[in-house]
Amino acid sequence: MLSTLWPVTRPLLFQLDAEKAHELTMSMLEYAPGLLASTARLGRGHPHPKLATTVAGLQLRSPVGLAAGLDKDGRAIRFWPSLGFGFVEIGTVTAHPQPGNPRPRLFRLVNEHALINRMGFNNGGSEALAQRLRALRERDLWPDVPVGVNIGKSKVTPLDEAPADYALSARRLQGVADYFTVNVSSPNTPGLRDLQDRAALASLLPAVMAEVRDTPVFLKLAPDLSEDAIHTAVELARMEGLHGIIASNTTIRRDVLRTDPNEAGGLSGRPIKDVAAQCIDHTLRAAAGRIPVIGVGGVEDADDVQRLLDAGCAAVQLYTALIYQGPGLIQRINHDLAGRQ
Ligand SMILES: Cc1cc2nc3c(=O)[nH]c(=O)nc-3n(C[C@H](O)[C@H](O)[C@H](O)COP(=O)(O)O)c2cc1C
């Protein structure tokens, strides 16, 4: 039903500034999640049982999850599963609430089915998120798919105090998040990606792990890392007892674009498919089956999902394709995947 309306809603939303369209959609999803979820589910039901899979002990109804950044403050958690997602990642949240970068900071590259963003982790902070999530659990409104929280560094926190900043968010969210993702790979917080260095990871990862009990922890990497750096990060993640790697975040590369709007930030969507695939390939090689890998970047259809699963990914995530293809996308992908198995 929601997807039937997409041919009408897409042109309306695409006439608005990208962030305004996002805010409008999120407000609707926040205030009428039950109604919109039943509308989205009409006639579809849950993904086919043969799509069910397990990653790091998490039971997923479909291998396709929502990538971080779309619902930073977990405002529409009850809605996302109705689109067919097998798991949902909210955040990035930081220990301190922060406004993010000045607007405009989100740009559509419509002809390339891509986005450039330099949001800068605008979010209400991990304490507010923990309260919202706890309230959902107490009211028995927690979704029936795993909901992970992606945590990052507050802008005001100096890089050498990053471990304590991440640890504080993990402590607040321990017991409410179904999994955590340690995000060291967004290009829009100055210095954040330096945390992917061996020395920085060696102090950051144990600080987070010390706060977490009985909850899987994933590490999210940038696609712009060298193969050596990916090997180092995967090795450290394994040694510190993390449960998975998410590869990858947005890229700062522009050579994959046909047109360059000359805006700083992270590029996502169709043009990063090959960049992400290469990063995922390096990650899978470094992981060598010893730690699960979740593939992200430019996933647009069941072929893309299948390719990543066949390459060895345990699951996939997407964000940008949902903006371009609308609410029916995940159910379509699930349907196509089920038809092949
Ligand atoms: C507007 C926007 C905001 C994002 N914010 C975050 C974020 O806060 N944390 C994060 O780990 N990834 C963030 N991402 C990256 C996505 O989770 C994903 O890794 C990336 O977009 C590649 O996937 P895609 O091509 O399917 O969009 C963001 C992406 C976009 C487009």
Give the dihedral sign, CA 39/60/297/118.
positive
Is the pLDDT at 42 greater than 70, yes or no? no
To test ligand 1's pocket by mutation, which of 109, 250, 317 has the most ligand atoms within 8 angstroms of CB? 250
Could you identify the atom of ligand 1 that is nearest to the CA of residue 121? 8
What residues flank ligand 1, with Cβ below 6 Å? 67-69, 72, 92, 106, 115, 117, 119, 121, 150, 183, 186, 220, 249-250, 268-269, 272, 296-299, 318-321
* Ligand 1: centre distance to CA 330 (Å): 17
Give the dihedral sign, CA 242/246/247/250.
negative
Looking at residue 100, the DSSP 8-state letter turns out to be: -
Neighbouring C-alpha atoms within 13 Å toward the C-beta of 98 = 20
Read off φ and ψ for residue 244, nearest 5 degrees.
180, 165
Which residues are known catalytic residues?
A: 186
Task: Give the tokens for residue 232.
Answer: 């180092």
* Ligand 1: centre distance to CA 320 (Å): 8
Pairing of β 293-296 and β 114-117: unpaired
* Ligand 1: centre distance to CA 43 (Å): 30
| Ligand 1, atom 21: closest residue by C-alpha | 268
Tell me the mean pLDDT in the region 273-297.
Answer: 98
Q: pLDDT digits over 106-146, tens only? A: 999 999 999 999 999 999 999 999 999 999 999 999 999 99
Is the pLDDT at 100 greater than 90, yes or no? yes
Nearest to 136 by CA among 67, 64, 88, 181: 88
Q: pLDDT digits over 197-237, tens only? A: 999 999 999 999 999 999 999 999 999 999 999 999 999 99
| Ligand 1, atom 13: closest residue by C-alpha | 69
To test ligand 1's pocket by mutation, which of 87, 268, 274, 275 has the most ligand atoms within 8 angstroms of CB? 268
Residue type, 289: G
Is the pLDDT at 34 greater than 80, yes or no? no
Contact 331, 323 (CB under 8 A): no
| Ligand 1, atom 26: closest residue by C-alpha | 318
Is the pLDDT at 43 greater than 60, yes or no? no
- Please state the CATH superfamily assignment of the domain spanning residues 6-340 in this structure: Aldolase class I (3.20.20.70)
Task: Give the tokens for residue 222.
Answer: 């940038």
Burial classification of residue 332, based on how many CB atoms lie within 10 Å of its CB (0-12 exposed, 13-18 middle, 19 or more buried): middle
* Ligand 1: centre distance to CA 113 (Å): 14
Could you identify the atom of ligand 1 that is nearest to the CA of residue 72? 8
The pTM of the full predicted model, rounded to 2 decimals, is 0.97
* Ligand 1: centre distance to CA 152 (Å): 13
Cα 38 from chain centroid? 24
| Ligand 1, atom 19: closest residue by C-alpha | 249
Tell me the mean pLDDT in the region 157-177.
Answer: 97
